[in-house]
Amino acid sequence: MQLVNSYPVSLIVNKLQEAHIPANDATCLKEIGKRDVFFRRQGDFSEPKGCKVKSAVRLSRAGHVQFDNAPLLTCKMAIQLARFSDDKLQSAARDILGTTVKRVLHIGTYNCRSMRQFKGVLSQHAFANAIDVSGFELANGNVINVATDWKTNNGKANFLKRVSIDACEAFHVAVSPDGDANHFNHFHWDMGPYRSCR
């Protein structure tokens, strides 16, 4: 199936999204190298459907926060996630739960596919410029799960709501379980060329 040829406007949008990600982001790679992070550089690659990964890294740790399965992310997205995790996530956990975040759990970054609601328009996942966060492991051993804790009425839910609000400021697109039915079990965060907070 050719994702990029489903309807004409998708060609324009996909080119815009691709152009938004620098082909040689040496400045970003230099900046991430100065931060308290652990990462590996990822070689550029593309797929026939139009998906392309450029200037990407596999991020394992930011400060005291570990990331499950070293997510594959554009350098820009990795820096933003590192900043957010080491600052906003930790602040929210300390303020609301009296502990810190040890690990970010996710259900995917790179995925060569179109957006669910706009057939033919590539998702930011198709550029490794997005992450779907499903939960958090805390330093005290507790685990917070977006699917089960979002609708509860306790500290875990309060923490998730605070994280959702903070993510709207940190990322270009931030979608919570309140955004739509597709996000019932995760937060979607990306650094695409447009802005949306749901």
Q: Which residue has the higher pLDDT, 105 or 8?
A: 105
Is 12 in contact with 6 (CB distance < 8 Å)?
A: no
Residue 133: strand pairing partners: 106, 187
Mean pLDDT of 58-62: 97
Residues 72-108: tens digit of each pLDDT: 999 999 999 999 999 999 999 999 999 999 999 999 9
Mean pLDDT of 100-120: 89
Q: Which residue has the higher pLDDT, 32 or 9?
A: 32
pLDDT band at 116 (very low <50, low <70, confident <90, very high): confident
Mean pLDDT of 159-187: 96
Mean pLDDT of 114-138: 90
Q: What is the 3-state secondary structure (H, E, C) of the chain?
A: CCHHHCCHHHHHHHHHHHHHCCCCCHHHHHHHHHCCEEEEEECCEECCCCCEECCEEEEEEECCEEECCCCEEEHHHHHHHHHHHHHHHHHHHHHHHCCCEEEEEEEECCCCCECCCCCCCECHHHHCCEEEEEEEEECCCCEEEHHHHCCCCCHHHHHHHHHHHHHHHHCCEEECCCCCHHHCCCEEEECCCCCEEC
Poorest-pLDDT segment among 25-39, 84-98, 115-129: 115-129
Spatial CB neighbours of 86, under 8 Å, sequence gap ≥ 6: 36, 62, 63, 64, 65
Mean pLDDT of 162-170: 98
Taking the C-alpha atoms of residue 134 and residue 82, their distance in angstroms, rounded to an integer, is: 17
* % of the chain residues with pLDDT over 90: 76
> How many CB atoms are closer than 10 A to CB 178?
12
Taking the C-alpha atoms of residue 59 and residue 1, their distance in angstroms, rounded to an integer, is: 31
Mean pLDDT of 50-54: 90
Q: How many structural domains does the chain have? A: 1
- In the prediction, which pLDDT does 2 show? 46
Tell me, what CATH number does 170's domain have?
A: 3.30.1380
CA 15 to chain centre: 21
* % of the chain residues with pLDDT over 70: 94
Taking the C-alpha atoms of residue 4 and residue 29, their distance in angstroms, rounded to an integer, is: 29
- In the prediction, which pLDDT does 8 show? 66
Chain-wide mean pLDDT for the chain?
91
> Is the pLDDT confidence value at 192 over 80?
yes
Residue 108 structural domain: 3-197
pTM: 0.89
